[in-house]
């Protein structure tokens, strides 16, 4: 039970959950359907405007960032597999995976230098 003058719920000796809701003038108590529709329309227009302002450079940066993350994840997985990767593959396939790994590392380094 809460003490008088202190709204809330007391759970045990040390834990109290406050149930009071303070008035905030920036949030109205109610909105009409017309107001909600106007807010939704404004939000949709704002999102559309942001999409149009995103230029090709930003899209390229985002795509390269996603690619780099996936490449790093694949490299970490290959490293964690160790010699087990070669157990079910031919020697040529193992050499090809080694070459692929080398190219992925080099491409990550090239991306790093291209961004600096």
What number is the average pLDDT over the span 38-66?
81
Total-model pTM: 0.50
Q: Is the pLDDT of residue 33 over 60?
A: yes
Dist. CA 73–CA 104, nearest whole Å: 11
Q: Is the pLDDT of residue 7 over 90?
A: no
**pLDDT the model gives residue 14:** 58
Q: Is the pLDDT of residue 36 over 90?
A: no
**pLDDT the model gives residue 75:** 92
Least confident range of 1-10, 23-32, 99-108:
1-10
Confidence of residue 2 (pLDDT cuts 50, 70, 90): very low
The SS3 of residue 16 is strand
**pLDDT the model gives residue 37:** 86
Q: If you average pLDDT over every residue of the chain, what do you get?
A: 79
The DSSP secondary structure of 21-52, one letter per residue, reads ----TTS-S---HHHHHHHHHHHHHHHHHHHH
């Amino acid at each position: 039970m809460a003490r008088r003058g202190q709204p809330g719920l007391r759970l045990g000796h040390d834990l109290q959950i406050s149930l009071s809701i303070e008035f905030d003038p920036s949030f109205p108590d109610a909105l009409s359907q017309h107001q909600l529709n106007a807010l939704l329309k404004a939000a949709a227009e704002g999102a559309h405007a942001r999409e149009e302002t995103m230029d090709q450079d930003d899209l390229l940066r985002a795509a390269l960032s996603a690619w780099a993350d996936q490449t790093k994840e694949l490299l970490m997985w290959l490293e964690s597999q160790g010699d087990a990767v070669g157990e079910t593959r031919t020697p040529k396939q193992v050499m090809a995976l080694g070459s692929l790994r080398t190219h992925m590392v080099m491409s990550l380094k090239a991306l790093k230098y291209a961004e600096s």
